[in-house]
Structure 1
Amino acid sequence: MTLTTSPGLSHETHAPSAVIERPLGNPWSGFGLLTWYSFWKLLTNPYSLGFALALPIFMYFMFGTGQEYSDIDVGNGNVAATVLLNMAVYGTIMTVASMGANIALERAHGVSRLFAMTPMSATAQICARAVASVGIATVVITVVFGVGGLTGSRMTASTWVLSGLFIVASSLLPAALGLAAAFAIRSDGAFAVTSTITVFGSFAAGMFIPLDQMGSIFQHLAPWTPFYGISQLVMLPIYGFETFRWTWLANFLAWVLVFGAIAAWAQRRDTNR
């Protein structure tokens, strides 16, 4: 049998005359939009925002108001103000960490894979979520401080402002913690891990019981716990900046880097599978 070839067909293959090269996308493209979307999503969630406001206010009313010691002068304020600051820090840590852990739910629905198809880098995505969490912390602190100012907490004007700024800045740490747990652990365990670390870490840092009233073991372990630096730095405006120690700042920055590195590594591992 003879095979024939149509004259209109050719077996020769021709290489393309030109190769179209496209520049790589900007790894920070969409950073602002994702930051705003994440912030708005958290702000309009009545359950998350309600918890963020109710927890520190409730605990402040329990320990800071109506007590015999509430109006005793301490540094640039009174005892009620110190309780307010501790409860505001604790509430911010719990809220921001749990908000970061919400990313675990996005992983379960495949949203993280969709982000991996965009030019935006893992670092940009993590930074966008962290900035959004800082924005939520700003809203929470403003409301909580307003309640405290109306119910007996007393500080100088500069102390109010500086304390609030310190708490907002410190929210980067729980944001990194929440993101690390969300990307490294399955959705059903991320919230449990963040809650465990924040509760035990806050107790160990002396937010509920002063460290000098704890046993020697806890006093020696406290400087190595995640929230020790935060608890000390936030109180600087009320106790005085002459009490500042570099080890407090080192503790804060070290734990931010640790949790941030875990979040970035786990995010890349998750989207590369």
Structure 2
Amino acid sequence: MTTAGTTTTTRTTGSHSPSPTARGAGAARRPERPSLIPYLLTELRTTVLRADTIIFIIVMPLGMYLLFGAMTSYGDIDAGRGNVSGVVMVNMAAFSAAMAATTVAGSSAVELAGGWGRQMGLTPGGMRSYYLVKSASAVLLSLVPTTVLFIAGALTGARCDNPLIWASSFLGCLLPTVPFALYGLAIGMWFPSQGAVGTAAASVTVWAFLANIFMPISGTLLTIAHYTPLYGAATLAQRPIMEDLINTATGPVHESPWLQVANLAAWTLLLAAICLVSRRRGTSR
């Protein structure tokens, strides 16, 4: 009897103890984090094919470059280490990058307000993957109009003195992506509606005017421009061609790059702080 009982107990205990092989199989069955590439490609395809994206981020800046740069009689005039058409090309590319980043980031805030964040939180990647995809989408979407404008510039007479200036100008045009991604995110967080995001994107046009992008300004407007969010990024994008010269309505003026860097850094930090406060406010609710 004792032997039988012992044998029964041993068998019973053994049946409830998972073997190392079973534990390994269980660990292997854990869901792996999926690749973000399909999500990123879907996000880009959806955004690029939207009518407002095509019109305001690609067609409008390209049309303005052709109208005020390539098709003008003064486009071939030397300007710094390039010509006037090259400067207009860079200005329009910086403007389109700011518009693209604002649109993508603003739409993400609206999605989060609609509950998409809770859905993403249930996925293996979580919210970190969501923010990573949105950030990459903002940068890659900014590349689309910038590349289109630089190709159009190269084909229609825009000139930079050497390939390094072409490359530096191209990269400089992506500088507005960082502050204006935060700008769109802040607007979307504080005013979570598609109308508010559209208004934020439209306001980029006002900032572009004050940033000396569309036409040279001077006097009080130029003084105000130094405190606007697009001025630092736009003038830094022009710097490979114009160096320390800024075109104004009364003629070119010399300006230190540190003023432009300070503008870009200050607005980036300010908008990041606004996004952080808004995130904490939403969490507390």
Name the TM tier (shorter chain). 0.7 to 0.9
Residue matched to 1:172: 178
TM-score (norm 2): 0.74
1:107-126 paired onto structure 2 within 5 Å: 107-116=112-121, 125-126=130-131
Whole-angstrom CA distance in 2 between matches of 1:50 and 1:264: 32
Residues 255/31 of structure 1: CA separation in 2 closer, same or farther (3 Å cut): farther
Once the two structures are superposed, residues 158-195 of structure 1 have per-residue CA deviations (whole angstroms, 9 ceiling, x without a partner) of: 11111111112331111111111111112144224413
TM-score (norm: length of structure 1): 0.77
What SS class does the counterpart of residue 153 from structure 1 fall into? coil
Tell whether the 8 Å contact from 1:84 to 1:153 is kept in structure 2 after alignment.
yes
Larger Rg: 2
Matches within 5 A, 1:117-136: 125-126=130-131, 128-136=133-141
Q: Which residue of 2 aligns with 1:7?
A: none
1:272 and 1:32 mapped to 2: Cα distance?
Answer: 30
CA distance in 2, matches of 1:121, 1:166: 32
RMSD: 2.8
- Other-structure match for 1:239: 242
The one-letter code matched in structure 2 to 1:219 is L
Give unpaired runs (5+ residues) of structure 1: 1-28
Does residue 217 (structure 1) correspond to residue 220 (structure 2)? The answer is yes
Aligned with 1:182 (options 181, 188, 197): 188
User: Counterpart of 2:265?
Assistant: 253
Distance 2:227 2:131 in 1: 25
Pair 1:230 & 2:230 matched: no
Is 1:48 paired with 2:53? yes
Identity of paired residues, percent?
29
The aligned residue for residue 197 of structure 2 is 191
Q: What is the deviation of 1:236?
A: 0.7
Number of residue pairs the alignment of both structures matches: 242
User: Structure 1 residues 262, 36: closer, same or farther in 2, change over 3 A?
Assistant: farther
Q: Return the offset for 1:47.
A: 4.8
Letter in 2 for 1:201: W
Contact 1:113 1:271 in 2 (8 A): no
How far has the Cα of 1:233 moved from its partner? 0.2
Contact (CA 8 Å) 2:76, 2:83: kept in 1 or not?
A: yes
Runs of 5+ unmatched residues, structure 2: 1-32, 246-254
Q: Which residue of 2 aligns with 1:67?
A: 72
Distance 1:265 1:157 in 2: 43
Deviations 1:120-141 (A, max 9, x none): 7877754542332011112221
Deviation per CA, 1:212-260, whole angstroms, max 9, x where unpaired? xx3x221221111111101210111101269652121111111112212
Report how far residue 41 of structure 1 moved.
4.0
Instruction: From 179, 200, 206, give the equivalent of 1:200.
Output: 206
CA distance in 2, matches of 1:153, 1:235: 13
| 2:176 and 2:234 in contact (8 A); partners too | no
**1:192–1:58 distance in 2 versus 1, CA, 3 Å:** same
CA contact (8 A) 2:173 2:234 kept: no
Distance 1:259 1:124 in 2: 22
Q: Distance in 1 between matches of 2:146 and 2:182?
A: 19
Q: CA deviation at 1:106?
A: 1.2
Residue identity matched to 1:164: F
| Counterpart secondary structure, 2:215 | coil
